[in-house]
Structure formats: structure tokens, C-alpha cells
Amino acid sequence: MLDYAALAALAAVIREGSFERAARALHVTPSAISQRIRLLEERVGCALVIRDQPCRATETGRRLCQHVDQVQLLEQDLQGTLPALAAQGMSRASVPIAVNADSLATWLAPAIAAFGAAHPVLLQVAVDDQDHTAEWLRSGAVLAAVSATARPASGCNSRPLGAMRYLAAASPAFLQRHFAHGVGAASLALAPSLVFNAKDELQARWVRRLCHRHVELPRHTLPSSHAFVTAALAGMGWGLHPQALIQSHLDNGSLVELLPDAPLDVPLHWHTARAASSLLDGLSAAILAAARTGLLPP
Amino acid sequence: MLDYAALAALAAVIREGSFERAARALHVTPSAISQRIRLLEERVGCALVIRDQPCRATETGRRLCQHVDQVQLLEQDLQGTLPALAAQGMSRASVPIAVNADSLATWLAPAIAAFGAAHPVLLQVAVDDQDHTAEWLRSGAVLAAVSATARPASGCNSRPLGAMRYLAAASPAFLQRHFAHGVGAASLALAPSLVFNAKDELQARWVRRLCHRHVELPRHTLPSSHAFVTAALAGMGWGLHPQALIQSHLDNGSLVELLPDAPLDVPLHWHTARAASSLLDGLSAAILAAARTGLLPP
């Protein structure tokens, strides 16, 4: 068997970001942590931790952390069937997942919160663009991900969740000022757009579909789903918003669509590492159920 | 004078993340971009771009990008006084700023949005922990920042904004389940807490003040101010929330404070690079005004 005291030390260093904090979390000395990780690195034959502030995992280190997460999930199942184990102190399995911000701002947060409240887990949620979350799973940084990618990484499963509907919208005053003569390549090249961050391709994709070519868009960057809506309401720019976040504003006229019948639907998928864990299965069931009411059918 | 065509190429590569996209944004070939940056690197005597996916700036590269931002701000002022320049095509200055997520989720977003809507700027907002945003300014990645640090970096100004009030809160059912016998080191070591990300020290700070020692907290990680509230409402964990985000939930009883009269006030400061720019002065005025109504007085 592998040295699980050493693996636990590795996981703690990556989770906590430093040897000192990991030592405190595991109630040992920093030099004990340091020694365990050095021995593990010798055994594996490569560096596992990038000693930076904060400490990060190497590719191999991440894969080992994912293994620790999977073993913890199995231990959790075992506690369920052998209550004597749990009586020694109820532990909670750590379940790291990566999701996109717009899902977290709409249909996903209530599902995660309800699952977390009802089960003996600690959920570590990371947020990234839906085109990049699958990479977190592939690299071993998480056990599950909401992703725009359909194809599962090797050793993983993927199930369709449904599509997130985005609408291109702005305030009526913004539309009047920038698009009084229509929405086209010329007006889009001058009207400020909103993008979530440098990875956000939605606005560019919507424009390419409309104009059949690339248009260089002036961009405000605003990495918050809710601030995106605030910015649109204030007339700062146009952007693609999840319909669920702006429907009430469309209904009362404080936001308007740039063009009618021009939604952008982004299919999402639920990727999981293959772990024989009833806890992870339960999380998947909760997330698939939430997607059935919160997303368009796959 | 410096080679501003080369500096513009550098800024575009860092903003866009790749030589190809920078070339498209500046309407030149990728090899022209590559050549300009190579010449600039020879002149400066060190690497300016880390050729990765996405491309990132070195320390020196970031400082040069900040200089480009400052020059663009000055050009914007010039356009205001010499309308003939503006007639050749209204350009917008790029103003990168770093802010904390909870400010963006409460008092700050409307101020940024209103300023962006009324001025010829493109605001590039980055989000980081309030203890880390000043670092963005120091490194040259942004021109201004909302930070918990009072002391300005060299070449920067700092003004107090007021304090953000945080309250430790959870759902009534959560409180009953985990804190029926009081809030102390023993119960806090077992009750799941909510943290925004690995940098979020607020919960630990609140606990240290209460218990006069370090308590290792079980943690869910949830990097979204709004999802934090959703999680608290569902009974997933306790955490420190901006009062502005949860006051309505406290009023209707769906959330309760862990302890009465135990707020945590985080003083915030507005840091700006010293640039003789009326646009940056205008942004500062807008943000200081919003802080006067959205934060506790400094």
C-alpha cells in the first residue's frame, strides 16, 4: 500500500497552501510534513509540490491528491455501513468540484447547498470558464466538473445536463445610443461590450454568428455574473446574460434584447472521476435533478 | 521616446493572451507583433512576455503595461481638450482595477457601472481577496485597487473608503443543530464553515477573536458572494457575510447571527497609481462617493 500519512500531508499542503498551515491542520510539526513529502517525492521519483506562496501541486502531485479524495469518499461510504467507525469521530469527505460562474449564479448553487447541508461532505467549489473546467478534472484538481465539453477525459464519465440559454441584452438607453441604426459589424465595433474575463468567448461567438466574420469588440471586463447585470442596467455595455438572471428585467423593460429570437444556447455536461462512491453518485443525482428544472432539455 | 507601437503590441498580447489575438486586435500580422516585442525585449534587456497559454507579463512587462495604461489616460484627457483628435475616431482608455468580490457584490458595482456608462473608458475589473488587491497595483497589473491595506505602494496614493461590516450568520436550523450548546471552540471545530477561497481569512479571524486561539474549522469553499448566501440559507454552513447582502434575510428570520453584537469590520482603502489623469480622478470621486453611502464611515 501507499503511505497514506504522507499522502494526507501532501493533500493538506495543497489544500492549505503552506507547510505551516498543513502542519496545524494535521496537528503535527512542519518538519514532519516536510519529511513525509520528501519521502513521497523520493518514492514517486519526481517533485509533487511547487514550493511557492501558496504551495501548488505539480501534475503528478495533483493526480495523487485526486487519489486521496477518492479514497476519502470510499472511507465515507464505509462509515455509513460500519457505524462503529463513524462513532470515533464523524469525519467529512472533501469533494472538490469545478463549475462555471453563471451556473453557480443560477440553477447550481441551491443544488450544491442543499446537498452539502444534507451529507457528511465538505464541498470545495472552484469557478472557471465552462470551456476550461474539464481541464481541472483531467489534471486531477477536482473530482467532478460542470463543463461545456461533452467528451469525458480518460477515467471519467460525462452526462449531458441540458443547455444554458444566454440572451444578448442592454439597457434601452444603451440600445438607443449605440444601435439606433441596427445591430451590425459597424455598430458592434464601437459599442462597449461586457465580458466576464479574458476566457469569455460568448460575446465574440454571438457576433460571429450574426456577422459571419470576426469583429473586434470594445470590452469592459467584469468577473461577476451579478455585477454583469448591474452593469447592463446602468448602460455600461451590452453582453450575453443567462436568461434566468435577467428575465425579470426583460419583463419590466429595464433591459431589452439586442435582437429578437437570437439566443445562444450553451450545452453543459456533468463530468465525474470514476469512483465507486455513493456520495459522489448522490451529488451527481442532485445536480442532474437541478439541471432538469434549471436548464433547457439536452 | 519609447517605441509606442511596440508598447501597444506588448499591452495587446497581455490583454488578449496570445500573439495571434493581439495581431487581430491591432490589425497587423502575428510576426509583426512578435518582432516588435523581441526588439522591445532587446532594448529593455529582459523578457517581457512569458510565452504560455495564455501569455502573461513578466514583472518588467507588467510595469510597462501599466505605463501604457497611464499614457492612454493622458491621451484621453487630451482628446477632451482637443476635440479634433477625438473626431478621428473616439477611442476609449482602458482602466484596469482590482477589487474584492464582496465590494463588487454590494456597494461597488453600481458605482463602477455608472462611471463606465458615462465616460469614454473600458474598465477591466479583476477580483481578488482584499488582502491581495494592493499587490496587483504594486506589480503594475492595474491602475487602482480596493484594498484592506492602508499603506500605499511607492508611486501610489491611498485614501480610506470606510469599513465593510461582516456578520457571522447561519440558518436557524443550522444554529440549532450545531450550536445548541453555545458557540465556542468545541462546536466551531465540528460545524462546517463557509470560506470564499483559500485566501479568505475572515472566518478564522472572527473565531480567533472569540476563542483567543486558533481553531481548525471544517470548510466548504464557495467562491461567490451570492452563492455564499444561498449556501447559508440552505443550512450548508456558517460564514461571515457582508451585512448589506443578508440584512433582509436577518430581518425575516431566514438567517440568524451566531452571536449578537459580534460584527467584524474590515476597513477598505482606495489605492491609485499617481497619474495626472482627470479620468482616474473622476473614477476615484465616484468610488469615494459610493463608499460614503455603502460603507461605515472611516
Contact (Cβ atoms closer than 8 angstroms) between residue A196 and residue A223: yes
CB contact under 8 Å between B116 and A237, yes or no, is yes
Instruction: Choose among A15, A24, A231: nearest Cβ to B116.
Output: A231
Please tell me the distance in Å from B236's CA to the nearest CA on chain A: 4
Task: Report the pLDDT value the prediction gives residue B53, as an integer from 0 to 100.
Answer: 84
Residue B87's pLDDT band (cuts 50, 70, 90): low
Q: How far apart are CA B245 and CA B25, in angstroms?
A: 39
CB contact under 8 Å between A113 and B224, yes or no, is no
Per DSSP, the residues of chain A read ---HHHHHHHHHHHHHSSHHHHHHHHTS-HHHHHHHHHHHHHHHTS--EE-SSS-EE-HHHHHHHHHHHHHHHHHHHHHHH-HHHHHT----EEEEEEE-HHHHHTTHHHHHHHHHHHSSEEEEEEE--TTTHHHHHHTTS-SEEEES--SPPTTEEEEEEEEEEEEEEE-HHHHHHHHTT-SSHHHHTTS-EEESSTT--HHHHHHHHHHSS-----EEE---HHHHHHHHHTTS-BEEEEHHHHHHHHHTTSSEESSTT--EEEEEEEEEE----HHHHHHHHHHHHHHHHHSB--
3-state secondary structure of B163: strand
CA B277, B283, B289 angle in degrees (round to 5)?
135
Q: Of A130, A183, A167, A194, give the one whose Cα is nearest residue A264.
A: A167
Q: How far apart are CA B93 and CA B122, in angstroms?
A: 6
Q: Are strands B93-99 and B144-147 parallel, antiparallel or unpaired?
A: parallel
| B114 near A CB under 8 A | yes
| pLDDT, average across residues A273-278 | 78
Q: How far apart are CA B45 and CA A149, in angstroms?
A: 42
| pLDDT, average across residues B231-236 | 96
**Rounded to an integer, what is the distance from CA B266 to the centroid of its chain?**
15
Among B112, B122, B236, B245, most A C-beta atoms within 10 A, so best to mutate, is B236
CB contact under 8 Å between A190 and B90, yes or no, is yes
Q: Which residues pair with B250 in a beta bridge?
A: none
Sign of the torsion angle spanned by Cα atoms A84, A85, A86, A87: positive
Task: Report the pLDDT value the prediction gives residue B141, as an integer from 0 to 100.
Answer: 86
| B214 near A CB under 8 A | yes
Residue A38's pLDDT band (cuts 50, 70, 90): very high
Residue A19 pLDDT > 90: yes
Instruction: Choose among A17, A122, A219: nearest Cβ to B198.
Output: A17
Instruction: Choose among B122, B225, B235: nearest Cβ to A220.
Output: B122
Among A14, A236, A238, A249, most B C-beta atoms within 10 A, so best to mutate, is A236
Residue A2's pLDDT band (cuts 50, 70, 90): confident
Task: Report the pLDDT value the prediction gives residue B262, as an integer from 0 to 100.
Answer: 96
Residue A249's pLDDT band (cuts 50, 70, 90): very high
Per DSSP, the residues of B228-296 read HHHHHHTTS-BEEEEHHHHHHHHHTTSSEESSTT--EEEEEEEEEE----HHHHHHHHHHHHHHHHHSB
Contacts with B124 from chain A: Cβ below 8 Å: 219-221
Contacts with B224 from chain A: Cβ below 8 Å: 101, 104-105, 109, 127, 225
CATH number listed for the domain at residues A164-266: 3.40.190.10
Side chain identity, residue A151 = R
Domain extents for chain B?
A: 164-266
| pLDDT, average across residues A51-76 | 86
Side chain identity, residue A279 = L
Q: In this predicted model, what pLDDT tens digit does every residue of B11-66 receive, in sequence order?
A: 999 888 899 999 988 889 999 999 999 999 998 889 999 998 889 999 899 888 88
Instruction: Choose among A218, A221, A236: nearest Cβ to B113.
Output: A236
Residues 6 or more apart whose Cβ sits within 8 Å of residue B174: A117, B191, B232, B235, B236, B237, B238
Residue B84 pLDDT > 70: no
CB contact under 8 Å between A230 and B125, yes or no, is no
3-state secondary structure of B147: strand
Residues 6 or more apart whose Cβ sits within 8 Å of residue B222: A112, A123, A125, B194, B195, B196, B228, B231
CB contact under 8 Å between A221 and B123, yes or no, is yes
Contacts with A125 from chain B: Cβ below 8 Å: 220-223, 227
Contact (Cβ atoms closer than 8 angstroms) between residue B285 and residue B204: no
| pLDDT, average across residues A107-119 | 95
Contacts with B110 from chain A: Cβ below 8 Å: 230, 234
Q: In this predicted model, what pLDDT tens digit does every residue of B139-155 receive, in sequence order?
A: 888 999 999 999 998 88
Return mean pLDDT, chain A.
Answer: 91
* Residue A151 CB-density burial (10 A; 0-12 exposed, 13-18 middle, 19+ buried): exposed
Task: Report the pLDDT value the prediction gives residue A100, as an integer from 0 to 100.
Answer: 95
A225: cell is 455574473
Q: How far apart are CA B51 and CA B201, in angstroms?
A: 34
Task: Report the pLDDT value the prediction gives residue A205, as an integer from 0 to 100.
Answer: 96
Contacts with B222 from chain A: Cβ below 8 Å: 112, 123, 125
Please tell me the distance in Å from B4's CA to the nearest CA on chain A: 20
CB contact under 8 Å between A127 and B235, yes or no, is no
Size of interface A-B (CB pairs under 8 A): 136
Residue B189 pLDDT > 60: yes
* Of B83 and B92, the one with more pLDDT: B92
Residue A93 pLDDT > 90: no
| pLDDT, average across residues A218-241 | 96
CB contact under 8 Å between B117 and A235, yes or no, is yes
State the ipTM, two decimals: 0.84
Residue appearing with cell numbers 459610493:
B290
Residue B85's pLDDT band (cuts 50, 70, 90): low
CB contact under 8 Å between A113 and B16, yes or no, is no
Task: Report the pLDDT value the prediction gives residue A138, as an integer from 0 to 100.
Answer: 87
Residue A54 pLDDT > 80: yes
**Host H or E run for residue B159:** strand B156-170
Q: How far apart are CA B207 and CA B262, in angstroms?
A: 11
CB contact under 8 Å between B226 and A105, yes or no, is yes
Q: How far apart are CA B163 and CA B146, in angstroms?
A: 12
B224: cell is 461567490
